[in-house]
Amino acid sequence: MSSETILDVAGLRTTFHVKRANKKYALKAVDNVSFHLDKGEILGFVGETGCGKTTVGRSIIKLTKPEGGVVTFGGNNILNLTGRRLREVRLKVRMVFQDPYASLNPRRRIADSVAEAGDIHKLFNSPQDRLKQIAETLKRVGLDPSFADRFPHELSGGQRQRVGIARALLPIPGIIIADEPVSALDVSIQAQILNLLLDLRKRLNLAIIFISHDLSVVGQICDRIAVMYLGRVVEIGEAEELFNRPLHPYTQALIHAVPKPNPRLRIGKGMALGEPPSRFELKPGCTYADRCPLAEGVCLTDVPEIKTVKNAQMAACHKL
């Protein structure tokens, strides 16, 4: 942990208790996840459906209640906070959501959505002050202040996502947790929003947790990347290193499976990974073992701990 660290997560565990076919299961959505986030850094969480990346984001501010772990922010363990102290943390660690259509209340004007956090915490001195700050925030995300009086259905998808980001910027937070912020957008709009996030990071020195299933997007804008598989971080490291020299067999497979926009780089046959195992009844050992070409012996019995492999790159694999 350096002095620049703004958020430190250690041993985060979140379990969902679900009932399927009259059987109760304890689903380990997040299992012993640790990482730190520096000021002005973009940390990507990438993985497939159900790997727990979204739950990590939600657990940090207790939107989903974690079972264990320590989340250190501003000298406190967020997981121990309740009431007013927790609500104050939620003002400094803000979320941006995936679906720009569902994340804005259709009956409220843009101004009300953008000013919501300020209204909740009674931060505005006067109505004029409120309007001024709304206008400033809209300008920050590249929208004309005249959008304030409109309703969400009058806006396009890209504009709505800008509003979704603006809502997370009033008042300016320390950390933004962006959960699939560009997945619902078309490529040409997606690039606009990614550039906006990069620009905001630079101007406001924001730290961003960027959650996405899209490896290319994460690889493009993140400084560091954490790869998740069935609730665990299997590899974490500098984006460039991780992308060019992935360590964990799952990271390798994931990078390999991304369709490259180049007809000369076609994925060959014979890389079939098969289906991921059932999340309800996990076998002992490495969760990736039954899809892993290298799995043998110890992989089937012991869970690999995440360890530093080289420089700042860490991976959880017995074979490294």
Partner 1 sequence: MMETLASWLEPFQKRRLSLFGLCVLILVILSAAFAPFLSSFDPLAMDPINRLLSPTATHWFGTDHFGRDTFTRIVYGSRMALLIGTGVVGFALLTGVPIGVLSVLFPRVGNLMMRAVDLLMAFPAMLMALGLIVILGQGVTNAILALGVVYLTRTARLTYSVSLRLKAETFVEAGRSMGARTWWIASRHIVPNLVSPLLVQASFVFAFAQLGAASLDFLGLGAPPDIPSWGNMLAESRIYITRAPWLLFFPGMMIVLTAFSLNLVGDALRDRLDPRYRDEQLSKTGKP
Partner 2 sequence: MLSVQDLTVSVITGKTPLDITRNVSFELNKGEILGVVGESGCGKSMTALAIMGLLPKTTIAVRSGRVLLDDQEITHLEPHQRVDAGLSGISMIFQEPMTSLNPVMQIGDQIIEALLVHDRGNMRAPAARAKKLLDLVHIPDAAMQLKAYPHELSGGMRQRVMIAIALACNPQVLIADEPTTALDVTIQAEILSLLKELCEELSMAVLFITHNLGVVAQLADRVSVMYAGQIVETASVEVLFEHPVHPYTHGLFSCLPDPTKRSEPLQPIPGQAPLITEITDGCAFAPRCKFKTSACLSGSIDWTGISNGHKTRCHHPLKEQK
**Residue 116 touches which of partner 1, partner 2, none (Cβ within 5-8 Å per kind):** partner 1
- Residues of this chain, 113-142, that bind partner 1 according to CB under 8 A: 113, 116-117, 120-121
Does 154 contact partner 1 by CB under 8 A? yes
Q: Is 18 in the site for partner 1 (CB under 8 A)?
A: no
- In what order do the strands lie in the sheet containing 5-20? 23-38, 5-20, 68-73, 76-77
Long-range CB contacts (within 8 A, 24+) of 81-90: 86/61, 86/62, 87/120, 87/121, 88/121, 89/61, 90/61
Catalogue the long-range contacts made by 116-122 (C-beta closer than 8 Å, 24 or more residues apart).
116/167, 117/91, 117/167, 117/170, 117/171, 118/170, 118/171, 120/87, 121/87, 121/88, 121/91
Smallest gap from residue 40 Cβ to partner 1 (A): 22
Selected range binding partner 1 among 48-56, 97-105, 256-264, 285-293, rule: CB under 8 A? 97-105
Q: How far is the CB of 243 from partner 2 (least distance, A)?
A: 5
Q: Find the radius of gyration of the CA atoms of the chain.
A: 21
Kindly state whether residue 156 participates in binding partner 1, applying the rule CB under 8 A: yes
Whole-number Å distance between alpha carbons of 138 and 32:
39
Residues making contact with partner 2 (CB under 8 A): 48-49, 156, 158, 186-192, 194-195, 198, 213-221, 239-240, 243-244, 253-254, 256-267, 269, 271-273, 275-276
**Angle 127-140/157-167 helices, nearest 10 degrees?**
130
- 3-state SS class at 126: coil
The item of partner 2, partner 1, none sharing an interface with residue 195, based on CB under 5 to 8 Å by kind, is partner 2
SS3 241: helix
Three-class secondary structure of residue 173 per DSSP: coil
**Which of partner 2, partner 1, none does residue 17 bind to, with CB < 5 to 8 Å depending on kind?**
none
Is 227 one of the binding residues for partner 1 (CB under 8 A)?
Answer: no
Three-class secondary structure of residue 102 per DSSP: coil
Tell me: does residue 48 bind partner 1 (CB under 8 A): no
Does 108 contact partner 1 by CB under 8 A?
Answer: yes
Q: Which of 97, 210, 229, 243 binds partner 1 (CB under 8 A)?
A: 97
**Interaction site with partner 1 (CB under 8 A):** 61, 63, 86-88, 90-91, 94-95, 97-99, 101-108, 112-113, 116-117, 120-121, 153-154, 156-157, 164, 167
